[in-house]
């Protein structure tokens, strides 16, 4: 049984082979396995965590490739279902002329939206220590119901619950509904990752005051982490610790999946700290002091820095050995 259960989308990123142009102007695309929750699952497994992925892919070459890729990278795919009801979702990705990431999704419906509460084994979930999900699955049914079932079952079993907001406006028919559902989910979340824009969407402010507002509004939150791309990352804990860590200066080839690599490394560290302390990840996160929080952010930043140097998301996620070598080189 895994320490971490992840539910959500596994899909194919079709990544532009020419940075600096829009999707419509890209001359070609490279197939890469992706999907934010699936990226986090693979990221955790490559760092040595025991992780299982719950999701649905199409009974097509892309879906079979995704399931095999996760399995080959150490993720338990016992509850990763293959369906003939829909094709595997495709996400076309390009790094635009101003450095922004552009997405176009082919998902009406996509197989990932068909994950249902029945796919989440209560016993499988209850055996874990941490449950992770993102908001993309909340934009459609029945995947939205699967997320709610996972949250409820994880909370009942006393698991630490992790959320990456990962807001993608193109996937929501009603952006206001995205905000309503994310706020509802936050009532059960302990470990939260957002971007600066997402923090502002949720709290009205993209600075420390916004993070503290979320901690005040949602009593179960132990940790709010904000990623700021080239500006690094920062975080605030329930216990009042605040820390910032600068980004590492590397040549970025493709920023897709950098945030997922970051969060996988952060969760992996919390799991390790929790195991050594004989406590839960949510308890350890709330009690981190500023130096420990800064170390956690710096290591997570390193995972993101390694990822942006390679094209693709899942294929670029670092192993434990690669992360150790990078951090040792930086420290020296």
How confident is the model at residue 307, as a pLDDT? 95
* pLDDT recorded at residue 102: 83
- 8 Å CB contact between 37 and 15: no
d(CA 329, CA 292): 20
Residue 202 in this model has a pLDDT that exceeds 70 = yes
pLDDT in tens, 83-119: 999 999 999 988 766 667 788 889 889 999 999 999 9
Using a pLDDT cut of 90, give the percent of the chain over it.
Answer: 83
Task: Summarize pLDDT for 170-186 with one digit per residue, the tens.
Answer: 889 898 999 999 999 99
Which two tokens mark 47? 């760092």
Phi, psi of 100 (to 5 degrees): -85, 150
Phi, psi of 185 (to 5 degrees): -65, -35
Structure tokens given for 28: 């070609």
In angstroms, the CA 12 to CA 89 distance is 6
Place of tokens 């509802």: 184
DSSP assignment, residue 224?
E
37 neighbors 116 (Cβ within 8 angstroms): no
Model confidence at 18, pLDDT cuts 50, 70, 90, reads confident
CA 200, 219, 148, 225 dihedral sign is positive
Is 207 an active-site residue? no
Q: What is the pLDDT of residues 145-166, one digit of tens each?
A: 999 999 999 999 999 999 999 9
Chain mean position to CA 184 = 19
pLDDT at 98: 67
Section 31-41 average pLDDT = 96
CATH number of this structure's domain 4-9+36-80+113-331: 3.40.1190.20
Catalytic residue among 3, 13, 260, 289: 260
Structure tokens at 139: 């934009």
- Tell if the pTM clears 0.85, that is, is over it: yes
pLDDT digits (tens, 9 = 90+) for 118-130: 999 999 999 999 9
User: In this predicted model, which residue has the larger pLDDT, 328 or 286?
Assistant: 286
């Amino acid at each position: 049984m895994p320490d971490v259960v992840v539910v959500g989308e596994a899909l194919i990123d079709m990544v532009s082979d020419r940075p600096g142009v829009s999707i419509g102007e890209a001359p070609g695309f490279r197939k890469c396995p992706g999907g934010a929750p699936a990226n986090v699952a693979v990221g955790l497994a490559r760092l040595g965590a025991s992780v299982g992925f719950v999701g649905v892919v199409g009974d097509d070459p892309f879906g079979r490739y995704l399931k095999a890729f996760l399995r080959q990278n150490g993720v338990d795919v016992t509850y990763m279902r293959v369906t003939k009801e829909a094709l595997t979702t495709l996400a076309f990705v390009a790094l635009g002329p101003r450095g922004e990431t552009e997405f176009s999704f082919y998902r009406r419906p996509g197989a990932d939206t068909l994950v249902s509460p029945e796919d989440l084994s209560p016993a499988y979930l209850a055996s874990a220590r941490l449950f992770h999900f993102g908001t993309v699955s909340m934009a459609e049914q029945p995947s939205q119901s699967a997320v709610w079932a996972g949250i409820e079952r994880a909370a009942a079993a006393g698991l630490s619950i992790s959320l990456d907001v990962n807001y993608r406006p193109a996937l929501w028919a009603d952006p206001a509904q995205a905000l309503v559902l994310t706020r509802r989910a936050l009532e059960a979340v302990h470990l939260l990752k957002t971007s600066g824009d997402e923090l502002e969407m949720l709290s009205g402010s993209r600075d420390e005051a916004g993070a503290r507002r979320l901690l005040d509004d949602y009593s179960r939150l132990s940790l709010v982490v904000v990623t700021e791309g080239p500006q690094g990352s920062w975080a605030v804990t329930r216990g009042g610790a605040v820390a910032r860590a600068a980004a590492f200066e590397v040549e970025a080839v493709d920023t897709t999946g950098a945030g997922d690599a970051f969060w996988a490394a952060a969760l992996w560290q919390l799991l390790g700290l929790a195991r050594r302390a004989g406590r839960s990840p949510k308890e350890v996160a709330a009690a981190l002091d500023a130096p420990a929080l800064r170390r956690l952010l710096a290591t997570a930043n390193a995972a993101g820095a390694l990822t942006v140097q390679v094209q693709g998301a899942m294929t670029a996620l670092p192993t434990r050995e690669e992360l150790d070598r990078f951090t040792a080189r930086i420290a020296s």
